[in-house]
Amino acid sequence: MARLDARRAYTQGYVLGMFQSHRICRLLEQDESDGITYAIQYFCESYDKYRLYQEKYAPTLQREHTHRFRNHFVAFRTLLKIVE
């Protein structure tokens, strides 16, 4: 379910010209008694596009996701810069 939701968010962002690509990773060597943990990465070509996405589109997508999967997920967001 989360994988499909991540693809939907990516697809919406991609169609809007915000993301170049994405990656869905499963965390290994983790206690899975509460479920499987995934990390989802979205790649933007510029910081300006990232800011535009955050300001214009992310709040709605995050609200929809929270409503749909309430009490079934934990999310935190970080901004990374590729250095190599």
Q: Sketch the domain layout of the chain as residue ranges.
A: 2-68
- Spatial separation of the C-alpha atoms in residues 54 and 52, rounded to whole Å: 5
Output 3 or 60, whichever has higher pLDDT: 60
**Is pLDDT at 1 greater than 60 in this prediction?**
no
Lowest mean pLDDT among 6-10, 28-32, 34-38, 72-76: 6-10
**Sign of torsion, CA 1 30 79 24?**
negative
Phi then psi dihedrals of residue 18, to 5 deg: -90, -40
- The first and second tokens of residue 27, run together, are 């965390």
**What is the pTM (predicted TM-score) of this model?**
0.70
**Is pLDDT at 10 greater than 70 in this prediction?**
no
